[in-house]
Structure formats: C-alpha cells, structure tokens
Amino acid sequence: MCGASTWWGEAPCGGVVPARPTPPRLMALGDFLAQLLTELT
C-alpha cells in the first residue's frame, strides 16, 4: 500500500519495509484513541 495514509503517518513507498514494525501495544492504543474520538464526536 504505497503512500497509504494511516493514523500514525504515511506508509512507506517503493517496497521499503520499516526498520521496526509498529508494536501491537501501540496499535491497540491507536485503536482505543480512535474509538474514544468516535464516541466523543
């Protein structure tokens, strides 16, 4: 997914893999924040 917009930024292009994948804990935190934001609006 080249240039895909995500809540933590832009996905890398050209088949470049990030040096460190996003930790599951950070992913869960992002999901929690997104859900909280949805409930508040």
pLDDT in tens, 9-21: 555 555 555 556 6
pLDDT at 28 over 80: yes
- The pTM (predicted TM-score) of the whole model is 0.42
Question: Cα separation of 1 and 11, whole Å?
Answer: 7
Structural domain span for residue 35: 5-40
Q: How many separate domains does the chain show?
A: 1
Q: Which of 10-14, 20-24, 28-32, 35-39 has the lowest mean pLDDT?
A: 10-14
Q: Answer for the pair 18, 4: CB distance below 8 angstroms, yes or no.
A: no
SS3 for 6? Answer: strand
Question: Residue 13 to residues 8, 9, 23, 26: CA-CA distances in angstroms?
Answer: 15, 12, 20, 22
Quickly count: other Cβ atoms within 10 Å of residue 15's Cβ.
Answer: 6
Q: Residue type at 37?
A: L
pLDDT at position 33 is 85
